[in-house]
Chain A
Amino acid sequence: MLEFPKWKVWLIGLVIAAGVLFSIPSLIAGTTLKGSWPSWLPQYKINLGLDLAGGSHLLLEADANDAQKQRLQSMEDTVATELRRDPRIDIGDISTSGGRLSFLVRNPTQVDAAVDRLRNLTKPQGLTGQRDWDVQVVDSTRIVMVPTPSGTATALKDAMSVARDVVRRRIDPGGTKEITVITEGANRILVQVPGVEDPEALKKLIGQTARLEFKLVDTAANPQDVAQGRAPPGSQVLPMAEGGGFIAVKRRVMVSGDQLADAKQSFDQDGRPDIDITFNAAGARRFGRVTQENVNKPFAIILDDKVLSAPNINEPILGGRAQITGGYTVQSAHDLAVSLSSGKLPVKLNVIEERTVGPDLGKDSIHKGVIASVIGTMLVILFMLVTYGRFGVYATIALIVNAFLILGIMAIFNATLTLPGIAGFILTIGAAVDANVLINERIREEIRRGRRLIDAVETGYHEAFRAIFDANVTHVISAGIMAYFGSGPVRGFAVVLMIGVVTSVFTAVYFTRMLVALWIRRARPRALHI
């Protein structure tokens, strides 16, 4: 008991000093002392959760139907491009209904060649031998391509990781804000933006797929058919973005937004807001060639399957620049520009959960939480002092050190403090003294049984440890499960509890034991007042 080697004392002292050092930046954040913290000292800080800092939390889910539609559409484009290559294979009666892509091969002798070329387009899925699409021949001339489950899963995974990056670029084009954008599960993205009071603007930015396409208008289509939604082969009917009405365009995408280098909000000659787009080198070449070949024909600019406008190509556009006009306000033009330059979303995202906390409520909560913590701690300390005297003082020191250690560790790991986390902090303060209560009561007991002082203290620490250990393991089990199942604020609570378990065992058992050992060695007391 009395042998407490110097190195152990130093080690414990070092741990405590580190805890205090690391917790200070979080404690003085937001006060006037902030500026006086030397820059060569640790700067780690505890994050405040949205419920304390204020801000918006959005949970987005990929629209499964849209994901399927987009995948079929992109396969349709790929197939068309592939089969147009030399030797050309003519196809027709393309359909994407029923979650499969099917089309007729005009020349029956080319069916096998077509299947071979299409199989080469599909990708193998891992080592299973399965590919991402099944290519089948039906009725000897019709080819049907069905997405396989593993192919769909892979495509979704890829789409989600692209979508995550796109969402981040849209919300934070400068890359400077402290936002969280992470994928959750197979088809969800969690977005957390501190300090946002009105999430509507945020949702508008995310809500737009921003798939920009340029297609030729099918001028040969019969207006009556178009009005009824029927399009000639190789064309499709799309709604106009404004003023209602429909227009027939060729299915083939001539140029797409994937080839944009930049998009900016600007003004047209009449001072109306528009969007200036600039193609990258490949896009500019393609745009130049297409406009050259189709002078005097109308060219449809399509955003998310709605035709924004269909101006005539008056002359070849060779500089790789174009304007998108059409009844925009400065804000909506700006939003569209951001969306276009951040790339299209590979899949439509729906908001399935939304929580916004005003900044004042957060400040209120912190204020009340801090006051409750301080008063609660003081009462617990008072209770310890009148119950255990000198040993109560040790428990008190341990308690205060424990508070610093929890904050310090949270800061090092950049953990997030939430409102329930404050409750976890208070609970930990209340429960941390349990270890000292166990030890002190045991020492009292052993003294009653007539043990000598040093012996009683030794036995007290030794015998109490088993129960302390088991009790803390049960806490870790429940906190661990909470951290695993819980979301946001609840996880913050669990994190504080888990850190608190570790630090409280350290302070309440090892640290107080050191204090007691040093005291006994120095004062050599004859009796114990406990």
Chain B
Amino acid sequence: MKLLKLVPDHTNLDFMRWRNLALVLSLIATVASIAFTIYRGLNLGVDFVGGQLIRVTFNQPIDVEQLRSRVDGLHLGEASIQEFGGPKTFQIRLPKPEGGDAATNIAATKVKQAIEADYPGNARIDAVETVSGKVSGELAEGSAMAIAFAMLGIAVYIWFRFEWQFGVGALLTLAHDVAMTLGFFAFTRLQVDLNVVAAFLTIVGYSLNDTVVIYDRIRENLRKYRKMAILPLLNLSLNETLARTVVTSLTVLIALGVLMLIGPEVIFGLAIAIFLGVLIGTYSSIYISAPVLVWLGIQPDSFLKSEDKDAAEALPA
């Protein structure tokens, strides 16, 4: 049986030739993503802004306008009705109750009763959520902190295991990946809830996977070929790891793609965020992680002075 080789042997692409162009494009994309996120804002779920939410699935198709006018007729404040995952499932959002932190879900209960009365036997209430302003504020703050700490923690670990240039490279790569994914959520108006934050943390962990592998190879080659110029050395390292990068990214994308397409609707946001993060992470491991090392002046002898560390780094396999 002939085995599949997605990347032929002796592949030798000149990745670094395009590094400045890629940098400019990445920079533009990152700035655009951040600007877009700030300008247009994220579609934050009740987890982060508070409020009440009802998710209902109908057995038979219903007239959305009728449902909308019924909910508006209850005069519970500004309500929004959106399709959720499929044409028969709807998400109804209501503003958070006025006055105080208590999460009274009077409005949600009223809507629930109205739906049950109007569509007897047809409606299935899937979920009712009420989050007070106090809790949502804490969740938003905690999530932002978690993402920041994860990025820093990983960068520090890379610094500790490699050199400071690699730590900075990892941090920039992560910032790029997170910013791009945020931009995607701002652009598509996909709802950002706690699950999506979990996805961001996962991206922080997994998008760095490729970077770590490539950095490991760069370190190895820096020691092996002490006379080689830095650009050819980076190209060599990227080409040597390219087959692995392609195969691994593909397996992860296959698994997540299936989850995204036929998995539960509730975690669609999580699945698509990680899917995207892995895709972006694959790109940035080549065009951000590696070139950053050039600009930060990594030298073939960067690891020479720490030769005595080798014993510690050669972990038992």
Contacts and interface: CB of A to CB of B under 8 A. Distances in A.
Interface in A347-375: 350-358, 360-361, 364-365, 368-369, 371-372, 375
Interface in A234-286: none
Contacts of A441: 241, 243-244, 247
B100 to A, nearest CB: 8
B213 A481 contact: no
A427 B264 contact: no
A465 to B, nearest CB: 4
Interface in B257-288: 258-259, 262-264, 266-267, 270-271, 274
Given A437-B248, A486-B194, A470 B212 contact: yes
Contacts, number: 247
B259 A423 contact: yes
B248 A474 contact: no
A376 interface: yes
Given A431-B206, A474-B154, A529-B3, A372 B258 contact: yes
A477 B213 CA distance: 17
B275 to A, nearest CB: 10
A383 B5 CA distance: 11
B198 A481 contact: no
B109 interface: yes
Contact of A471 (B212, B240, B274): B212
Interface string A482-501: 10111101100110010000
B150 A481 contact: yes
A388 B256 CA distance: 21
Interface in B139-174: 139, 142-143, 145-146, 149-150, 153-154, 157-158, 161
B202 interface: yes
B259 A376 contact: yes
Contacts of A493: 195, 198, 202
Interface stretch (B125-133, B179-187, B297-305): B125-133
Contacts of B315: 465-466, 469
A430 B254 contact: yes
Contacts of A489: 194-195, 198
Contact of B3 (A387, A419, A490): A387
B308 interface: no
Nearest to B314: A466
B195 A490 contact: yes
Interface in B187-205: 194-195, 197-198, 201-202, 204-205
B307 interface: no
A466 B313 contact: yes
A448 B9 CA distance: 8
A423 B270 contact: yes
B258 A375 contact: yes
B212 A357 contact: no
Contacts of A72: none
Contact of B258 (A59, A200, A426, A467): A426
Interface in B15-51: none
Name, among A353, A461, A475, the residue most crowded by chain B CB atoms within 10 Å (CB to CB). A353
B101 interface: yes
Contacts of A358: 124-127
A465 B10 CA distance: 23
Nearest to A482: B201
Contact of A420 (B124, B128, B255, B270): B270
A530 B3 CA distance: 7
A471 B134 contact: no
Given A353-B132, A482-B198, A490-B194, A474 B157 contact: yes
B32 to A, nearest CB: 26
A234 B105 CA distance: 40
Name, among B9, B105, B153, B213, the residue most crowded by chain A CB atoms within 10 Å (CB to CB). B213
Contact of B264 (A376, A419, A471): A419
Name, among B194, B204, B259, B264, the residue most crowded by chain A CB atoms within 10 Å (CB to CB). B264
A217 interface: no
B201 A478 contact: yes
Contact of B135 (A352, A444, A475): A352
A132 B204 CA distance: 47
B126 to A, nearest CB: 4
Interface in B89-148: 100-105, 109, 124-132, 134-135, 139, 142-143, 145-146
Interface string B227-260: 0000000000000110110011011111110110
Contacts of B255: 376-377, 379-380, 426-427, 429-430
B220 interface: yes
B141 to A, nearest CB: 10
B247 A437 contact: yes
A248 to B, nearest CB: 30
Interface of B: 1, 3-6, 9-10, 55, 57, 100-105, 109, 124-132, 134-135, 139, 142-143, 145-146, 149-150, 153-154, 157-158, 161, 194-195, 197-198, 201-202, 204-206, 208-209, 212-213, 216-217, 220, 240-241, 243-244, 247-248, 250-256, 258-259, 262-264, 266-267, 270-271, 274, 313-315, 317
27 contacts: A51-B266, A352-B101, A352-B134, A353-B135, A356-B127, A356-B129, A358-B125, A361-B127, A361-B266, A372-B259, A376-B259, A380-B254, A383-B250, A383-B251, A420-B195, A423-B267, A429-B255, A441-B247, A465-B317, A466-B314, A470-B212, A474-B154, A474-B157, A478-B201, A485-B145, A493-B198, A494-B198
